[in-house]
A and B are shown apart, each in its own frame.
Chain A
Amino acid sequence: MILRSLFLGIAACLLALTCAAQALDDPAEEARAQSLMRELRCVACENEPISQSSAAIAEDMRARVRVMISDGASDAEVRDWFESRYGEFVLFRPKGKGLEGMFLWGAPFGLLIIGGLIAFGVARRRQAGAAAAEPVAPEDV
C-alpha cells in the first residue's frame, strides 16, 4: 500500500508539483492535507510546521503532502513517508513507540492518576474528623 502510493506519488510528482501549490479540489482532502501540514516540521526553519513556513523546501513538502493525499494515501502513510525521508525530527506529533514514546505520552496521564490518588489519600486520612464537617457557604470566593 505504502509502496503503491509512493510509486504513484513519484509518477504524478512532476505533473502535480506545478499545480499542487493550489488547494486540492475535494475540500475534505484539502482539510486533511492542511491538518497534516500543521504537524510536519519544516526541515530548514527554526521551529515551524510546513504549513507556516515560506521556505522553498516547505513548499515542496506541502506539495508532496497534497500529491500523496490526492493519490489516496492515509494520514499514517504520509507521516511514515516523511519520517523515512527526513527522520523522526519532522513529526511534531512524536511517536508513541518504544520506552521513550510511552513515557512521553503516558506521563501526563500517569501523573494525573498519581496526583488524584495522593489527593484522594489526603482526603481519606481526613475522613475521620470529616464526619463532623459542617457545610459553610463561601462568603466571597
Chain B
Amino acid sequence: MIELGHLAAFLALAASLVQGILGLMGARAMAGRAALVAFGVMAVSFLTLVVAFAQSDFSLALVANNSHTLKPMLYKIAGAWGNHEGSMALWCLVTLGFGAAGALWMRTGRELFEARTLGVQGWLATGALSYLLFASSPYLRLDPAPLQGAGLNPILQDPALAFHPPMLYLGYVGYSFVFALAAAGLMEARIDRVWAKEARRWSLAAFIPLTLGIALGSYWAYYELGWGGWWFWDPVENASLMPWLIGAALLHSVAVTEKRGSFAAWTALLAVLAFLFSVMGAFLVRSGVLTSVHAFAVDPKRGMVLLTGLVVYGTIALGLFALRAPKLEGGKPWQMLSREGALAVNNVVLVVAALTVLLGTLFPLMAEAAGRTISVGEPYFRLTFVPMLAALLAILPVVQIWSWGKADLSMLWKWAAGGVALVVVFMALGVGLWDIPLGAAFGLALGVWLVFGALWELKRRAVSLPRVFRLPLRVWGMTLAHIGLGVFVIGAVVETTQRYESTLALPAGGSGTVAGWNITLKDVRAIEGPNWYADKADITARRGSATAEMAPTKRYYPAARMPTTETAIHKTGTGDLYVALGERRDVNGETRWVFRVYFNPLIDLVYLGVLLMGLGAFFSLLPRGRRKAG
C-alpha cells in the first residue's frame, strides 16, 4: 500500500517537473494538465499515509515512531501530519493543490503569463517534493515491524492542534502561488491592474487560513499549556506572525495596484517576501536553531536543506525583481495626502513590524554567535512592536475615508477633535473611575475608535441605512476586518492589563479565594483514558450566586513518558476563570495540590477579533455579486 504512495509521490515529482518545464515554455494547457495530474497522484500518496496511520501499520517507520494503537481515531489520522515527514508531505500536497486550483481558476486572459505562473509553481513543487523524497521520506519501512508504536507527542493530542497545521500550511503554501504570480509577472515586466486583480484573490486565499491557523494555535496554547496567556512571543509563534504581517501589507498594497496601477514594484516585492517569510518560518521551526515550547520534530541537517532552498529561491526571485522593477509602469498620479499615501504608511509600518519581530526572534542567535546568551521576550515586543502598530491603527479611521489621488482634508479637524475627545473620556473614566493603567486607557480608546471608525465608514459609504446591505461585499469585508481589529485591541488590552493570576495550594476540602472567586477543592481522583492516566481535581468555584463545577486535570502519557495539562475554563460572560492543576505536595503528612488560577477578562474578544479579520478577508474573496447600484 505505502509503496503505491511512494511511487505516486515520484509520479507527482515527475508531473511537477513537466509542469515546471512546459509552463516556463508557455504551454498553458499542458502545464495545467500536469498540475492536475500532480495533485491527483499526490492526493493518492497522502491518502496511503493517512490510511497507514489509521490502521496503525507499524511496519512503516513513521507510524511506528509517531502513533500508537490506543490513540483515538481522530489523532491517529491527525498523527499523519503531526510529525516532520508527514507535515512535509502535507506541505507538498497543498503546494500541488494550489497549482491545480490555479490551473483551473486563473482568469487573466493572458496565456503566457498563466503558463509561466504554473511553471514557477511547478518548480516550487519540484523543490518541495525532492526535499520530501530525498531528505525526509515518510514512506520508509521497518523490518521487523514493532508491535506497538511510540505514540504522538501528547501535547499534540488535541482537536485544535489536529487542524492547526493544515490551516497554517494552507496559508504558508498559499503564498507560494502568490510568489509564482509575482515571478511570472516580473518575467514579462507587467505588474498591472489585471495582474493585481488575480494576485489579490490568491493573497486572500492564503491570508484567510493563515489567520485562522494562527488563531487556532494561539487558542491551543491558551488552554493546553496551562499558562493562562494567549500569545507568548515564542519563536514559533513569531514565525507565523511574520508572514501574516507581510500578507496583511500585501493585501493593502495589491488593492492600490488593482485600483490605480500604482505600487507595482512594491506589491511584487511583498508577494515574493510573503512566501520567503513563510519558508523561513518553516526553517526556524524545523531546524531547531531556536528553542521553543511549540517546536517538535527538530533536525539540524534538514534545517540546512530548507535554508539552502530558501536562499536559492529567494536569490532567483529577488534577482528577477531587481532586474525588472525599474521597467514596471507606474500608475495614476497621487499626492502625499491621499489614499495611496495612507496605504504607503500602512505598508511601511507593517513591514517594519515584521522586521522587528524578525530581529527580536533572531537576535538571541546572533548574540550567541558572538558569545553572549541573551533573551528577547515579551517586554521587547511590548515596547517596540506594540506602539508602532498602535500608531498605525490610530490613524486608520481618519485615513480610510480618503480618496484615491488626493484627500479631502476638510473633515480632518473634526476627526482629530473626535479622537482627542475619546482619549480624554477614556483617561478620565479609566484612570479615574476604573483605576486602570494609563496605557490601558489609551488602548481601550483605540479599540473603540477602530470599531467606531469602521462603522462610520460603512455608514458614509452607504449614505442611508437601508443601502448598507447593498454595498459591495468587499466593503463589508473591509469593515468586518477593521471592526475585528478594534475588537481584538479591546480584548488584548483588557486581558493583558487586567488579568489576575495566583497560585493556590489546597488540601482536599480546602478552599482559597482568587479574584473574588471562592475555590473549593472537593477531591482529586485518579482516572484512566485510552492512552493516558490522569489526576482529575473536582473543584467548586463560587462568586456571589454564581457557581461552577470545574475539573482541571493533569494527564500522563506512559507511551511518551510525558505529562500534559488539561485546564478547566469557566466562561463567565465577562471573562474566563481558568484553573490548571499543578503538582502534588506532601507537607507534614498532609497532601496539598497546587492550582494555578487565572481570571482572564474579555479573552474571547481576542479570538473573536481575529475571526472577524478572517471573515472579513473571506467576504472580500467572494465573487463580486451583481448588486444593483442603489
Question: Footprint of B on A, CB under 8 Å?
Answer: 21, 23, 34, 38-39, 41, 46-49, 51-52, 54, 87-94, 100, 104-105, 107-109, 111-112, 115-116, 118-120, 122-124, 126-127, 129-141
Q: Is the CB of B293 within 8 A of A46?
A: yes
- B338 partner residues in chain A, CB cutoff 8 A: 133, 135
- Determine how close the nearest CB of chain A comes to the CB of B513; give it in whole angstroms: 11
Known contacts: A21-B503, A108-B384, A122-B344. The answer to whether A140 contacts B234 by CB under 8 A is no
**Distance, CA A64 to CA B384, complexed state (A):** 29
- Determine how close the nearest CB of chain A comes to the CB of B611; give it in whole angstroms: 20
Q: Is the CB of A41 within 8 A of B377?
A: yes
Interface size class of chain B, counting residues whose CB lies under 8 Å from the partner chain: 35 or more
- Tell me which of B332, B349, B404 contacts A138 (CB under 8 A): B404
- Tell me which of A23, A39, A46, A129 contacts B291 (CB under 8 A): A46
- A94 partner residues in chain B, CB cutoff 8 A: 363, 374-376, 380
- B65 partner residues in chain A, CB cutoff 8 A: none
Check: B549 CB closer than 8 A to any chain A CB: no
7 cross-chain CB contacts under 8 A? A21-B505, A47-B292, A87-B373, A91-B374, A94-B375, A107-B359, A126-B333
Stretch at the interface among B40-48, B305-313, B472-480: B472-480
- Tell me which of A105, A122, A130, A137 contacts B384 (CB under 8 A): A105
Q: Is the CB of A119 within 8 A of B348?
A: yes
Q: Is the CB of A123 within 8 A of B341?
A: yes
- Tell me which of B228, B336, B356, B377 contacts A123 (CB under 8 A): B336
Interface residues of B in 387-416 (CB under 8 A from A): 388, 403-408
The 9 closest A-B pairs by CB, nearest first: A92-B377, A93-B379, A115-B348, A135-B403, A133-B405, A108-B356, A140-B474, A129-B333, A52-B227
Interface residues of B in 200-234 (CB under 8 A from A): 227-229, 232, 234
Give 1 or 0 for each of B556-599: 1 = CB within 8 Å of chain A CB.
00000000000000000000000000110000000000101000
Check: B372 CB closer than 8 A to any chain A CB: yes
**Distance, CA A138 to CA B478, complexed state (A):** 12
Check: B502 CB closer than 8 A to any chain A CB: yes
- Determine how close the nearest CB of chain A comes to the CB of B295; give it in whole angstroms: 9
Give 1 or 0 for each of B343-363: 1 = CB within 8 Å of chain A CB.
011011101100110011001
Q: Is the CB of B352 within 8 A of A108?
A: yes
Q: Is the CB of B333 within 8 A of A111?
A: no
Q: Is the CB of B380 within 8 A of A93?
A: yes
Check: B235 CB closer than 8 A to any chain A CB: yes
- B255 partner residues in chain A, CB cutoff 8 A: 141
